[in-house]
Amino acid sequence: MQAWRKKLVEGYQAFRAGDYNSQKALYEKLGTHGQNPDIMLIACADSRVDPTDIFDAYPGEMFVARNVANIVPPSGNDEAYHGTLAAIEYAVTVLEVDVIVVMGHESCGGIAGCLAGMGEENNTGYVGSWVSILNDAKNELVRKMDNRGNLQYEMELEGIRQSIRNLMTYDFVSDAVEAGRLTLQGAYFGIVSAKLMLADDDGEFQEVPIQ
Ligand SMILES: [Zn+2]
């Protein structure tokens, strides 16, 4: 059996024998009555940063959209197909979540690609085109940092701030925020340390105590 098939089959079997037993009633309730999560999370597709693990979430608690480098594109590009935006629109207008959390992370390959100029070049495929959304934020940060400090880390944080600014370019988001029905929250996860940081009102990231 291929390693990936073994992982799928045995992982599923372990889930059925383990976690599922304690969550059976929850799955039945969610399956029968539908989902009603309070939190939407936009995270990177990176295999090391699973939001439901990091926030110890049960099925039904978080509506999660993952993409390369946890980016929200700005409005005004309506000719493209937008999976992330479809998820955001559904979360805000149908599920009426209380918060959209944009979570970035340490060692983000998408951010590294953006910093390496993938988004400036032609023929860098869908990834290059996608991370080019952060080009303006990157150029501004590079100018401001002037070769001091940790550019990768600062860009990971700036990417989160830019995606939050981009969220506000959609009327259905800004209307909900201004009416007090929706909060936009930045978060950052350090893989090696497992440290979580949350952005304050000024966009500065503050570590969350373990307890
Ligand atoms: Zn990433």
| Model pLDDT for residues 52-90, shown as the tens digit of each residue | 999 999 999 999 999 999 999 999 987 788 999 999 999
Distance 87 CA to ligand 1 centre (A): 19
Element (H, E) at 178: helix 171-178
Residues 196 and 174 both lie in one domain: yes
Residues 22 and 91 both lie in one domain: no
Residues 107 and 51 both lie in one domain: yes
Say how far apart CA 162 and CA 134 lie, in whole Å: 7
Say how far apart CA 198 and CA 99 lie, in whole Å: 13
Residues 10 and 110 both lie in one domain: no
Residues 91 and 181 both lie in one domain: yes
Residues 175 and 76 both lie in one domain: yes
Which residue, among 36, 134, 54, 47, has the nearest Cα to 94 in the 3D structure? 36
Distance 103 CA to ligand 1 centre (A): 9
Task: Compute the average pLDDT of residues 31-55.
Answer: 97
Distance 72 CA to ligand 1 centre (A): 13
Instruction: Report if pTM > 0.75.
Output: yes
138 in Cβ contact with 154 (< 8 Å): no
Distance 21 CA to ligand 1 centre (A): 33
Residues 140 and 76 both lie in one domain: yes
Position 211 scores a pLDDT of 85
Distance 67 CA to ligand 1 centre (A): 8
Contacts of 104 (CB under 8 A, 6+ apart): 44, 69, 70, 111, 156, 157, 159, 160, 186, 187, 188, 189
Mean pLDDT of the chain: 96
147 — pLDDT class (breaks 50, 70, 90): confident
40 — pLDDT class (breaks 50, 70, 90): very high
Number of domains in the chain: 2
Say how far apart CA 67 and CA 44 lie, in whole Å: 5
Contacts of 52 (CB under 8 A, 6+ apart): 61, 62, 64
Positive or negative torsion for Cα 92, 97, 99, 102:
negative
30 — pLDDT class (breaks 50, 70, 90): very high
Task: Compute the average pLDDT of residues 146-166.
Answer: 96
CATH number at residue 196: 3.40.1050.10
Residues 13 and 58 both lie in one domain: no
Residues 63 and 144 both lie in one domain: yes
Distance 41 CA to ligand 1 centre (A): 14
Contacts of 18 (CB under 8 A, 6+ apart): none
Domain housing 4: 1-33
| Model pLDDT for residues 160-204, shown as the tens digit of each residue | 999 999 999 999 999 999 999 999 999 999 999 999 999 999 999
103 in Cβ contact with 70 (< 8 Å): yes
Distance 113 CA to ligand 1 centre (A): 10
46 — pLDDT class (breaks 50, 70, 90): very high
